[in-house]
Amino acid sequence: MKSTLTANLKGDILGGITAGIIALPLAIAFGVSSGLGAAAGLYGAIIVGLFASIFGGTPTQISGPTGPLTVLAASILALNSDSPDVIFAAVFLSGIFQIIFGIFKIGKLVNFIPYPVISGFMSGIGTIIILLQANSILGLDFSGTPVEGLINAVKAVPQTNLQALLLGIITLLIVFLTPKKLAKIIPPPLLALISGTIISVIFNFNVPTIGEIPSGFPAFNFPEFHLTEFEIVISSALTIAVLGSIDTLLTSLVADSMTKTKHKSDKELIGQGIANMIASVFGGLVSCGATMRTAVNIRSGGRTALSGVVHSIFLILIVVFFAPAASKIPLAVLAGILIKVGISIIDYKFIKLIKIAPKNDLLVMLLVYFITIFDDLILAVGVGVVMSSLLFAANVAKQTDVKLKGIKENESYINEDLINNTMIMHIDGTLFFGSASQIASRIDEVWDNRAVIVDCSSIKTIDMSGVFALEDLILTLKDRGVHVVIIFSSRSIAALALKLGLRKIISPNSLAFSKEEALKNLK
C-alpha cells in the first residue's frame, strides 16, 4: 500500500512539474495575446490551475489559459479597451454561470455536440491564433481582428523588424524541428522561449518584449463596471462560461480515455467556476481545462489532483524568482510559439476526410469554421448545433415511410362491401416534427373510404408533433364520416399518444394492438 502511494506521489510531482514547464511559455504567450499582459496569463494559470484541481471533478486535468478563451478575451477587451474591468467582471460572472451549469447538471450536454461542429470550431480557433501572430512575428505593433491583422501585416511588410522576424523564424524551427529525444528532456516551447530570449539579450536586439512582470503576488481587486455596461458583461460572461465549459469537458473526455477513468462533469464545472471567480479578482486571465497540459501530466505520471497543485506551485516559484528575466522575452518568440499552438489546434483528422465526408457534415464544419473566424465564437457553435440538428431531422424524416394499401379478403373479418372501402395507412419509422407533414400530405388519398386503419405498429418513437399529426388525420376523416381505427404495437407509445390528446377524440373500439383486432373493431 505504501509503495503504491509513493509511486502515485512521485508521478503526481513529476507530472505537475512537467505540466508547469509546458504551461509557462503558453501562459505568458496567451496573456500577451489577450491584451491583458503576461502577468494575467501567469496568474490565470496559477489560480485556476490550483483551485480547479482542488474543487474539480477530473483529477488529472491541468487548467490554464487556452487558445479559444484567449481569443474570446482579446475580442471582449478590444471592444471595451476604455474599461478593462469589464473583462474581469465578465470572468467573475462566468464563474457563477459555470457553477449554475454544474448544479443543474448541464455538463453532460457537451456529449451531444456533433463532431463537425467541434472540428470547425477548433480549426477556426487555430486559424485565428495564427492570424493574430502575423504582426508580432514581423515586429509590428497592431491590435484588431484576425483578418485585419493579416491585411495590415501584408501592407506593412516593408516596415518589418528583421531582428524580430529572425527570432520568430528561430522559434518556429525549434518548436517544429526539435528532435524527439531532446523534446523529452525539455519541451520545445520552453527551449524556444529560453533560446530566443538569450539570443535577443546577447546580441542586444531592438525588438518589442513583454515588459515588466510583477514578482510578487497579485493584489485583490473586485472588478467594477457601470450599469450601462451590464448588458455587455452579461453576454460576455455567458459566452465565456459556455465556451470554457465546452473546452474543459472535451479535455475531461481526453483525460478519461488516457486514464481509463470517468470524470464528474458537474463537479468539474463547479470547480472551474470557483477557480475563475477567484482568478478574476486577482487579475488572472480566464482559463479552463487545457488538453495538451493535461495529456503531458498524465503521460508523466500524474494521477490525482495533487499534480495540478504541484503545477501551480511550480509557476508561483517562477513568478517569485524569475519575473525580471521573463520581462525580456521578445514578443516575436511568443508569436512563434503560438503559431505552433494554432497549427496543432487545427483538426487534421477531419481535413483528411474532406473528399469522402458526408456533404451535410462538411457543410456544418465549413459554416462553423468561417463564422468562428469572421464573426463570433459562440454564434458559430450555436449555428452549427442548430444546422446539424435540422439536417439530422431531415435525414430521419426521409427514412419515415407512409404506405397505403387495401385489405385482402382472406385476412379480413368484415363484409365484402367494407373490404372494398377500407384503406390501411401504414406508417413506418419515426413520427416526429420532421416527418409529421408526410401524414397530412396523404389525407386526400384516403378520405373517400368508409373506414381507414392507421397502422402505427412500426413506429419506433413519437413526439408531440407526431401525435398532433395523428389527431388532425383522425378529426379530418371523422368529419367526412370515415370510421378510423388506429393500431399501436407499443403500449408505451399508445399511452403517450392518448395522454397527449388522442383519448379525447377516439373511442375504446377505435384503438387496437394488432391488425386482426383492428379489423374486428370495424364491424
pLDDT digits (tens, 9 = 90+) for 369-406: 999 888 877 788 889 989 998 898 888 888 888 888 88
Q: Which region holds residue 224: left if phi is over 0, alpha if psi is between -120 and 50, else beta? A: beta
pLDDT digits (tens, 9 = 90+) for 75-101: 888 888 777 789 999 999 999 999 999
Distance between CA atoms of residues 262 and 237, nearest Å: 28
pLDDT digits (tens, 9 = 90+) for 143-197: 677 888 888 888 988 999 999 999 999 999 999 999 988 988 888 888 998 999 9
Mean pLDDT, range 199-216, rounded to an integer: 87
Top pLDDT among 446 and 50 is at: 50
Distance between CA atoms of residues 515 and 237, nearest Å: 57
| The pLDDT value given to residue 1 | 41
Per-residue pLDDT band for 137 (boundaries 50, 70, 90) equals very high
End-to-end CA, the chain: 78
pLDDT digits (tens, 9 = 90+) for 18-64: 899 889 988 998 998 898 988 999 999 999 999 999 999 999 999 99
Q: How many percent of the chain have pLDDT more than 90?
A: 36
Q: How many percent of the chain have pLDDT more than 70?
A: 96
Distance between CA atoms of residues 56 and 294, nearest Å: 14
What is this structure's pTM? 0.76
Return the number of other C-beta atoms located less than 10 Å from residue 450's C-beta: 14
Per-residue pLDDT band for 292 (boundaries 50, 70, 90) equals confident
Q: Where are the domains of the chain?
A: 2-349, 401-521
Distance between CA atoms of residues 6 and 12, nearest Å: 10
Q: Nine-digit cell at 502?
A: 388522442
Distance between CA atoms of residues 360 and 456, nearest Å: 30
| The pLDDT value given to residue 516 | 84
Q: What is the residue-averaged pLDDT of the chain? A: 87
| The pLDDT value given to residue 114 | 86
Residue carrying the nine cell digits 506521489: 9
- Tell me the HSE value of 279 on the side-chain side, using a 13 A CA sphere: 36
Top pLDDT among 1 and 517 is at: 517
Per-residue pLDDT band for 5 (boundaries 50, 70, 90) equals very low
Top pLDDT among 233 and 435 is at: 233
Phi, then psi, of 395 in degrees rounded to 5: -70, -40
Rank 66-70, 95-99, 158-162, 326-330 by mean pLDDT and report only the highest.
Answer: 95-99
| The pLDDT value given to residue 438 | 86
pLDDT digits (tens, 9 = 90+) for 209-227: 887 777 778 889 998 877 7
Residue carrying the nine cell digits 499534480: 307
127, pLDDT greater than 50: yes
| The pLDDT value given to residue 75 | 85
Distance between CA atoms of residues 325 and 318, nearest Å: 10
Mean pLDDT, range 444-452, rounded to an integer: 84
Distance between CA atoms of residues 343 and 341, nearest Å: 5
Residue carrying the nine cell digits 521578445: 330
409, pLDDT greater than 70: no
416, pLDDT greater than 70: no
Strand partners, 253: none
| The pLDDT value given to residue 7 | 57
CATH of domain 401-521: 3.30.750.24
Mean pLDDT, range 494-523, rounded to an integer: 86
Which DSSP letter does residue 329 get? -
Number of H helices, E strands in the chain: 22, 7
pLDDT digits (tens, 9 = 90+) for 229-266: 888 899 999 989 998 998 899 888 888 888 888 999 99
